[in-house]
Amino acid sequence: MSRLRVESFTISLDGFGAGPDQSISSPLGVGGTSLHGWAIATRTFQKNLFGSDGGQDGIDEDFAARGFHNIGAWILGRNMFGPVRGPWLDESWRGWWGENPVYHVPVFVLTNHARAPLVMDGGTTFHFVTEGIDAALAQAREAAGGKDVRVGGGVNVVQQYLRQRLIDEMHIAIAPVLLGAGERLFEGVNLPALGYACARCESSPLATHVVIARQ
C-alpha cells in the first residue's frame, strides 16, 4: 500500500524546522537556509536543484537519495509553494523553482483559496486543494498510482498529518545549527503517545539522521 513519508526534513539543534519571517529573499525564514548544508552538498541535491553532476556521496547522499525513491506525488503547504498570502489576486507566482520544478510528479498544495492547476515543465503539476489534509492525501494517493506520497512541509502541515497518525515514516535530519526562533517541528506533538518510535539513527559531520516510524 502507498505510504505517507516525510523525507530530508531538517531541524536545528533547538528544534526549529524553519526560521521566522519568510519572504522572497528568505524562503525558509531568516536563517533557515543554514539548516540544509548537509543536503546541498549531496549528489542528489546538486543534480535535482542545479543540474550538476557534482556532489558528495556518503551517509548524507544515501538519505537524500532515499527521499526521491518510489515517490509518486507530493503534498505541500501553501507557504512551501510561496510567500503569497490570502486570495490569489493574480496567478503570476509560479513557485520558487522556475519553470522546471524539482518534483517531476503531481504536487498537491494545501490552501484556503482555490486556484486552477498549474502545469509546469518536467512532469510537475501543482494542484491546489481547499478541502483539507484528508482530501489532499486521497488525491495524492490516487495520483501516485501505488507509489508513496511525500509530505514536503512546512512545519504546520507535517504536524497536522502527525497528529492524525497518518505519517508512516519520517526522516529527520538534525543540523548543528541554532536558529533561536521560528517554527518548532514537534511543538505540542507527543510522538510516543501517537505510537511513533525511533527506528534508525546515523550521523555524518554535517547532520544526525533519524528515522521515526509509526509502530
Is residue 23 a part of any domain in this protein? no
Q: What's the grid cell of residue 137?
A: 492525501
- pLDDT tens readout for residues 77-88: 999 998 888 999
The pLDDT score that the predictor gives to residue 157 is 97
Annotate 157-214 with DSSP letters as a single string: HHHHHHHTT---EEEEEE-S----SSEETTTT--TTTTTEEEEEEEE-SS-EEEEEEE
Domain encompassing residue 46: 4-16+31-83+98-214
3-state secondary structure of 30: coil
The pLDDT score that the predictor gives to residue 24 is 82
The pLDDT score that the predictor gives to residue 84 is 86
The pLDDT score that the predictor gives to residue 58 is 96
Rounded Cα–Cα distance for residues 124 and 145 (Å): 15
3-state secondary structure of 22: coil
Instruction: Give the global pTM.
Output: 0.94
Yes or no: say if 58 and 72 are a contact pair by the CB < 8 Å rule.
no
- Residue ranges of the chain whose pLDDT lies below 70: none
Number of compact structural domains in the chain: 1
Of the candidates 200, 214, 154, 168, which has an alpha carbon nearest to the alpha carbon of residue 22?
154
Is residue 180 a part of any domain in this protein? yes
Rounded Cα–Cα distance for residues 151 and 185 (Å): 13
Bridge partners, 196 (sequence order):
214
Residue indicated by cell numbers 522546471 = 100
Is residue 72 a part of any domain in this protein? yes
Is residue 41 a part of any domain in this protein? yes
Rounded Cα–Cα distance for residues 197 and 1 (Å): 21
The pLDDT score that the predictor gives to residue 109 is 98
Output the CA–CA distances (angstroms, integers) from residue 23 to 31, 78, 89, 96, 103, in the order listed: 12, 13, 18, 11, 22
Residue 65's CATH number: 3.40.430.10
Is residue 90 a part of any domain in this protein? no
The pLDDT score that the predictor gives to residue 23 is 83
Phi, psi of 19 (to 5 degrees): -85, 175
Amino acid, res. 144: A
Yes or no: say if 59 and 202 are a contact pair by the CB < 8 Å rule.
yes
The pLDDT score that the predictor gives to residue 38 is 96
Is residue 64 a part of any domain in this protein? yes
Rounded Cα–Cα distance for residues 14 and 177 (Å): 8
The pLDDT score that the predictor gives to residue 49 is 78
Is residue 166 a part of any domain in this protein? yes
